[in-house]
Amino acid sequence: MKRFSSIFLICLLLFSTKIYSQALKVQHDLVVAKDGSGDFRYIQDAINAVRVYLPKPITIKIKKGIYKEKLEVYSTLTNITFVGESLDSTIISYDDFSGKGKMETFDSYTLKVLGNDIKFKNLTIENTAGRVGQAVALHVEGDRCVFENCKFLGNQDTIFASGENSRQYFSKCYIEGTVDFIFGSSTALFENCHIHSKTDGYVTAASTPKWVAYGYVFKDCKLTTDKAATKVYLGRPWRDFAKTVFINCEMDSHILPEGWNNWGRPETEKSTFYAEFGSKGAGTNTQNRVKWSHQLSEKEALTYTKEEIFSGKLLTQYQDFWSKTPSLKGITNVRDTSYSNYSALKNSLKTHPNATLVPEKTPENVIEERNIVFANTGTRDLQLDAFYPKTKSKKLRPAVLIIHGGGWRTGNRSQHIPLAQRLAALGYATFTAEYRLSTEALYPAGVHDLKAAVRWIRANAKKYGIDTNKIASVGFSAGGQLSALLGNTNNLPKFEGNIGDLKHSSKINAIVDIDGILAYIHPESGEGDDRKSTSAATYWFGFSKEENPELWHEASALTHAGKNTPPTLFLNSSVDRMHAGRDDYRKKLDAFGIYSEVHTFENSPHSFCLLSPWFDPTVEYIDTFLKKVLK
């Protein structure tokens, strides 16, 4: 009894300590000092101590010193101002870079800011990795973030100013770099800033979303150079609708007469918006600028006020569409485990008593690698599992990305490990990837994740012996819908996102759709019935189909099917609504002479592909189809 009492008291103490530590989260001003004279010696410790969603603003004062820290201001933190004691002697420094271990560009930051209403003043933020490729000093995705009298030191990719609907303001800052050293998707105003090129390269690489009215705007800035830099472009488009404008800026002779570069993609000349007004200095030979750039009139330039840029206005054709606010009630950040192979078996046994679960079993000729990080969302890692033949072959093998189902809300990548194992035994390199579900993020986040997985597969093709022209997507239920959407949105920037490896293509060469719909809004579809409770699709989009039918159509593979659609295999159960839009989709493919085939398992449950006796013929159909179309 005495021993039990002791254990109970220890547990109670630990529990009480946890509650007490939460209660101690501060909401008052703090001081950070390396010499111990402040509240904290390390900046991250001060950040970690602050209460989430602060009800009123606080200031964190940072005394002089070089703080070698990799910092993150989390998305749950708001209303914080960080003030350095002195611009040149209060330095935040780190040296990560893309390619260091498994690190990618978006992991290489010195300072990452995800929270809204965050301000930095009188600070130097540097990445000291050197000229080793992408090495980010500042990674900011928060909205209404301000940087005043700060220095940003680096080389390639110094500042990642991003967040598709985020706004950031840089005032009286010094920014230096080499290539694409200001890049990203946010609306950002740089006012009275000093922009310094250290080598030949590109100042900006905007990825402005199509619907955003402003991208990067530079007003009253000075563009200078080291002697080593003589050929610098003002910008090139990271994504097709990049918007960058320079107004009343002084440019040295390192700025090339043509001014802008299309990044080897002539089609972007029609979709980007690159403009200037009042440029002065040796680098402002505007008469020789590329013909597809613009010179603003005085009247147009006057519209670029701080208030207008940060108003959040969208391009006219998107105002009605995007002014609607999605519901976030489905984002619980709690994993939904309601659908699994076992729950699928339990439900199927009610009508199919002979159904059995297909077990995981690693074939002798297959290598497995689990929990591989393929991208980072900015808040967490995304993982996949790899399965591939042990035997090395002179002939490169096809790859298969397998996408799990679960109504875009539940399920996980382990669902199809038996399928991945079996296909790997047949000579394929197979990958089961996770993606953000509607409990964590709204559409199109999950699509962006899967596109990143495909790019990762291509980036690692050599390791797994993959033919990069033979990559198929295979998905079941919601995963089948996503498999079809991936293949039908090849080379459409809107669906790419900006996570993971961005150097490789996300192109899908063949589609396998196992009982996944092709159209959300369709006479055959049962999606979007919210009368009794919120439907899975409504959670996925944050809108009902009545509220935002355009979004539902946008996410439907049928909408995009056409001359560039890959060959498609449909494997269907006897549940008719699970192939909504399939026949219309096939008609589109027939019109362009694109191969497709359908196999229906009569009297089968929706989850047939997870169960025997349907599993083996499912594998056989997939293998036969892929051998036919990926020759």
pLDDT at 318 over 60: no
158 by DSSP, 3-state: which? coil
pLDDT (average), residues 19-39 = 79
Query: 71-89+96-321: which CATH architecture?
Result: 3 Solenoid (2.160)
Of 214, 87, 237, the residue nearest 148 (C-alpha): 87
- Write out the E strands in 493-567: 510-514
pLDDT given for residue 494 in this prediction: 83
Q: What is the pLDDT of residues 242-274, one digit of tens each?
A: 999 999 999 999 999 999 999 999 999 999 999
pLDDT given for residue 69 in this prediction: 98
**Using an 8 Å Cβ cutoff, are 241 and 210 in contact?**
yes
Q: Which two tokens stand for residue 333?
A: 């950040």
Q: Which residues are catalytic?
A: 180
pTM (2 d.p.):
0.57
Distance CA 544, CA 555 (A): 13
Name, in order, each residue with C-beta under 8 angstroms of 526's C-beta and a sequence gap of 6 or more. Answer: 577, 580
**Using an 8 Å Cβ cutoff, are 283 and 258 in contact?**
no
SS (H, E, C) 31-89: EECCCCCCCECCHHHHHHHECCCCCCCEEEEECCEEEECCEEECCCCCCEEEEECCCCC
Q: Which two tokens stand for residue 619?
A: 């594998």
Please provide the size of the chain in residues: 631
pLDDT at 115 over 80: yes
Cis peptide before 605 (omega within 30 of 0): no
Residue 445's Cβ-side half-sphere holds a number of Cα atoms within 13 Å equal to 23
- Per-domain residue ranges for the chain? 71-89+96-321, 359-629
359-629 to CATH, choices 3.40.50.1820, 3.40.470.10, 1.10.10.10, 3.40.50.720: 3.40.50.1820
pLDDT given for residue 24 in this prediction: 54
Question: First and final CA of the chain: distance in angstroms?
Answer: 73
pLDDT at 325 over 70: no
Show contacts of 155-160: CB within 8 Å, 24+ apart.
155/127, 155/129, 155/130, 155/131, 155/179, 155/181, 155/198, 156/131, 156/180, 156/181, 156/201, 157/105, 157/108, 157/181, 157/183, 158/127, 158/182, 159/183, 159/184, 160/105, 160/106, 160/109, 160/136, 160/184
Secondary structure letter of residue 336 according to DSSP = B
pLDDT given for residue 319 in this prediction: 45
pLDDT given for residue 129 in this prediction: 96
pLDDT (average), residues 64-87 = 96
pLDDT confidence band for 321 (50 / 70 / 90):
very low
pLDDT at 416 over 70: yes
pLDDT at 348 over 50: yes
Q: What is the pLDDT of residues 466-478, one digit of tens each?
A: 999 999 999 999 9
pLDDT given for residue 92 in this prediction: 98
Using a pLDDT cut of 70, give the percent of the chain over it: 94
Q: What is the pLDDT of residues 270-308, one digit of tens each?
A: 999 999 999 999 999 888 999 999 999 999 999 999 888
pLDDT (average), residues 87-114 = 95
pLDDT given for residue 307 in this prediction: 86
Name, in order, each residue with C-beta under 8 angstroms of 207's C-beta and a sequence gap of 6 or more. Answer: 162, 183, 184, 185, 237, 238, 239, 242, 498
pLDDT at 377 over 90: no
- Looking at the DSSP bridge assignments, the partners of residue 222 are 194, 250
- Write out the E strands in 377-428: 381-389, 397-403
- Looking at the DSSP bridge assignments, the partners of residue 246 are 218, 276
- Looking at the DSSP bridge assignments, the partners of residue 48 are none
Of 34, 94, 84, the residue nearest 59 (C-alpha): 84
Q: Which residue is associated with the tokens 């989850």?
A: 607
Burial grade of 291 (CB within 10 A; 0-12, 13-18, 19 or more): exposed
Could you tell me how far CA 510 lies from the centroid of its own chain? 23
Of 485, 511, 509, the residue nearest 631 (C-alpha): 509
pLDDT given for residue 203 in this prediction: 98
- The strands making up 510-514's β-sheet, listed across from edge to edge, are 366-376, 381-389, 429-433, 397-403, 466-476, 510-514, 568-572, 596-600
